[in-house]
Amino acid sequence: MKKQKKFYPDLYVIAKILLSLADGRSKREAALLSGVNYNRFLQYVEYLRERGLVAGEEELRLTPKGAEAAARLAELIKELTGEEPMDVKRK
C-alpha cells in the first residue's frame, strides 16, 4: 500500500485562491485565476475548507476567517515582493 504524501501548500497559490474568492466565484473561475491545474486546485480547496477558510460547493466563497487570511497574506506578499499577489507570475 502506497503511503499518501503530505500536502505542502504554496502560499502564493493560497493567496491567489483566497483573493479570487473575495466576491464569490465558481470553482472553474477560481481555478483559472489561481494558475494551477484543476485537480491541484481541488486539493487546495479541500485544504482551505478543512481550515475553515472557504465554504460552498460549486460557488465558493470566503468565510470571515478566510477573508482575514487573504488580507494578511496579500499584505505580507506585497511587503516582501513589492507586488500584488494576483500579479506575481511564478516560474
Would 50 be classed as within a structural domain? yes
Cell of 74: 496579500
Q: Which pLDDT score, from 0 to 100, does residue 25 have?
A: 87
Would 80 be classed as within a structural domain? yes
Would 3 be classed as within a structural domain? no
Would 5 be classed as within a structural domain? no
Q: Which pLDDT score, from 0 to 100, does residue 2 have?
A: 63
What's the chain's length in residues? 91
Q: What is the mean pLDDT of each run of 10 residues along the chain (91 residues)?
A: 75 92 88 90 95 93 96 92 76 54
Domain that holds residue 60: 11-84
How far apart CA 61 and CA 58 sit, in angstroms, is 10
Would 77 be classed as within a structural domain? yes
The pTM for the full model equals: 0.83
Would 55 be classed as within a structural domain? yes
Which CATH number belongs to the domain containing residue 73 in this structure? 1.10.10.10
Q: Which pLDDT score, from 0 to 100, does residue 81 have?
A: 86
Would 1 be classed as within a structural domain? no
Other Cβ atoms less than 10 A from the Cβ of 30: the count is: 22
**Domains in the chain, number:** 1
Q: Which pLDDT score, from 0 to 100, does residue 3 have?
A: 67
Q: Which pLDDT score, from 0 to 100, does residue 88 have?
A: 66
Q: Which pLDDT score, from 0 to 100, does residue 7 have?
A: 76
Would 90 be classed as within a structural domain? no
